[in-house]
Structure 1
């Protein structure tokens, strides 16, 4: 098993972080482009948002394929194959000239982008010792946030400078570089034990994970947190593109630099989780996310940005804790368990915009904040319920 701090640990962790960076840069590239895409294709804000949500939707659903497949067929080659396919689709996106074509390609891309997220944490569970895995998961999720930042910055700056199609071209070149380095750095699996590919067994594994309250509560916490967090960014771009702010696309892209605080939050979550019960870490992250959401009610631009910095820290702190909790508490078919977590996670991303849209129509950004806080109160309660369940189980084992 790979130990924390060894050269192999850093090589493997860096490879997975870089792969994560490439995946999430591709997922989020359209988010700062939404006002531009709405104008170019003459569609509504909600329709423009589909260029993002269709990707997260197909990504989430495809996790149920790649995770179980990797339990049976191996992990490394599936990650390489799907990353290569996603890069090719990014190139095709740079050449599309219709809204429908973009949606179809983004849907296909979501299927391919799911390969690495479905498998990476399970790969760590196979190869890393527990302390090493806690640290690696935090760093890996930090790669998620850095990828999200970079994708949005490329979308914002290149889109504003050369147009949205050239933003996809730049993303293609970046993806090729990341893919090559990933292939060279990720060590071969040494502790993977394949399971026979039996669809009935796969469904049984998924069912057993869903019936396990220790896992199901974490799925709901991660899913509903992302349901709110990511879709707040979509709606705030329309607020800041309008009067009195009138921010151009390149500056809207810079809003996503607030994800940097999420990188910090995810990186320290593993260390805090060694001292504090992970369900309490999830609850703490939700409280921070609620605090940041309230801050965004200000009309001052700097306070809105501060609110999103706080939001990002709290969200990724909770997400890192929930994600590692799932891998540690799934005692069989780890990739399937992690895939289910991410299914809830990305289904939340895909559907949160529909939930928040009536609040937006009702009271604009103030309505979005109200709708957000209602759901975050739910995830706070679920985190505390998970902590109580953990305590009861500890007492039962000790007795």
Structure 2
């Protein structure tokens, strides 16, 4: 498999994560302008992630009836429309509605991308293809935040979202491959298949682990701007955005996940090591030093995306003919963790402070580690 074969799919993933995460560096600004608390502002992420965990399965009929190519194009166009709406809205409730609508579209887009990516790769290149997909999502999360922060400081944040809308429309016209309606009919989503995958094939532990993984990650990324502002009250939008630079190490660990797995003694052992390092990085953030926070985020992101890459590749390897269902389940559990992580730890942070917030994340990491210890990966 050559990377050029899936390049349009990777670009679509990057733009999707622009939509999802670009508002985060603007949270302190939006909090002040709209008179919101930290938790209320964090709902702008929660509103998008809520349908992200519900939709992959509840949209089962839609995903089975239409080709992923067609669904991908439609979701890109509608995301462009809602992104423009986000700029024009001046009411918090309306912003939440728009973000919720984006959350309905993103799982359709991402499930289509994952399905098309694994189809293009074939059985022999799934690991490499899924690593490339995860890398694209990392780049989208990083540069979406960086660019929106840059526009907020040096121009107007709204201009970035107008530009993003245009890029989404252009991407909807890109060549994703030949329309293939027959290929989607053999992967119907039903509850019996879900039960088999979760319990008989042992994927339930993997999905619980990735749910904990993203619970932690979502919490950390969502409330990081407020932590930075606590440690440095003069932090600008671009300064806050640069705190997400740890994503760069995530790019490295994602791309090298296959090699790192071999060095770690296999997928299972590497997942365990990754979760342990993840936990240590969380603990490092208790120090009231912005330099230590910056360093810890590199370790944090590197460990997170290593685990994410290996887990995503493995579930596609064992999916067999139910690849679309497995990807839908993966996204469902992944974003369920994101929904809970974008709200619950924030309440702890608001009421009790950062150290107790960290304790909650470490407990979630312990659950994820125990889940990893129970799975069996060949």
TM-score by length of 2: 0.92
Closer/same/farther in 2, CA of residues 361 and 88 from structure 1, 3 Å limit: closer
Does residue 350 of the first structure (1) align with residue 350 of the second (2)?
no
1:214 aligns with 2:220: no
Q: Aligned equivalents of 1:192 and 1:269: distance in 2?
A: 33
Q: Distance in 2 between matches of 1:381 and 1:243?
A: 33
Does 2:114 align with 1:114? no
Alignment of 1:197-212 (within 5 A): 202-212=190-200
**Alignment correspondent of 2:74:** 81
Kindly indicate whether the alpha-carbon contact (under 8 Å) linking 1:68 and 1:202 is maintained by their aligned counterparts in 2.
no
Q: Which of 205, 220, 231 lines up with 1:232 in the alignment?
A: 220
Compute the RMSD of aligned alpha carbons.
2.3
* Residue of structure 1 equivalent to 2:153: 160
In structure 2, do the counterparts of structure 1 residues 244 and 80 end up closer, same or farther at CA, with 3 Å as the change threshold? closer
> Which residue of structure 2 aligns with residue 366 of structure 1?
355
Change over 3 Å in CA distance of 1:67–1:18 after alignment to 2: farther
Q: Distance in 1 between matches of 2:167 and 2:244?
A: 19
- Which residue is 2:33 aligned to? 40
- Which consecutive residues of structure 1, in runs of 5 or more, have no partner in the other structure? 395-399
Q: Which of 212, 229, 244 is the matching residue for 1:256?
A: 244
- The number of aligned residues is 377
Q: What is the rounded CA distance, in whole Å, between the counterparts of 2:37 and 2:217 in structure 1?
A: 21
Q: CA deviation at 1:233?
A: 1.9
Using a 3 Å threshold, how does the CA distance of structure 1 residues 71 and 124 change in structure 2: closer, same or farther?
farther
Instruction: State how far apart, in whole Å, the 2-side matches of 1:127 and 1:244 are.
Output: 47
Structure 2's unaligned 5+ residue stretches are: none
Q: Report the counterpart of residue 14 of structure 1 in structure 2.
A: 7
Local SS of the residue matching 1:130: coil
> Given that residues 68 and 336 in structure 1 are in contact (C-alpha distance below 8 angstroms), is that contact kept between their aligned partners in structure 2?
no
The structure-2 alpha-carbon separation of the partners of 1:245 and 1:134, relative to structure 1 and needing over 3 Å to count, comes to same
Q: How far apart, in 2, do the equivalents of 1:235 and 1:50 lie?
A: 11
Of the structure 1 ranges 201-210 and 100-109, higher mean CA displacement relative to structure 2 is found in 201-210
| 1:179-223 deviation digits (Å, cap 9, x = unpaired) | 44xx23x3326796332697xx63333333333352111111111
User: How many Å separate the matches in 2 of 1:165 and 1:98?
Assistant: 15
* SS of match in other structure, 2:218: helix
- Over 3 Å counting, the alpha-carbon distance change for 1:154 and 1:174 in structure 2 is farther
User: In structure 2, the residue corresponding to 1:97 is in which secondary structure?
Assistant: coil
- Alignment check: 8 A CA contact 1:237 1:252 kept: yes
Between the aligned partners of 1:157 and 1:362, the Cα distance in structure 2 is 31
Q: TM-score, normalised by structure 1?
A: 0.87
Shift of 1:368: 1.7
**Higher relative contact order at CA 8 Å, sep ≥6: structure 1 or structure 2?**
2
- For structure 1, which segment, 137-146 or 84-93, has the greater mean C-alpha deviation from structure 2 after superposition? 84-93
Q: Establish whether residue 378 from structure 1 lines up as the match of residue 371 from structure 2.
A: no
Note if contact 1:223-1:348 (Cα within 8 Å) is conserved in structure 2. Answer: yes
Single out whichever of 61-70 and 373-382 deviates more from structure 2: 61-70
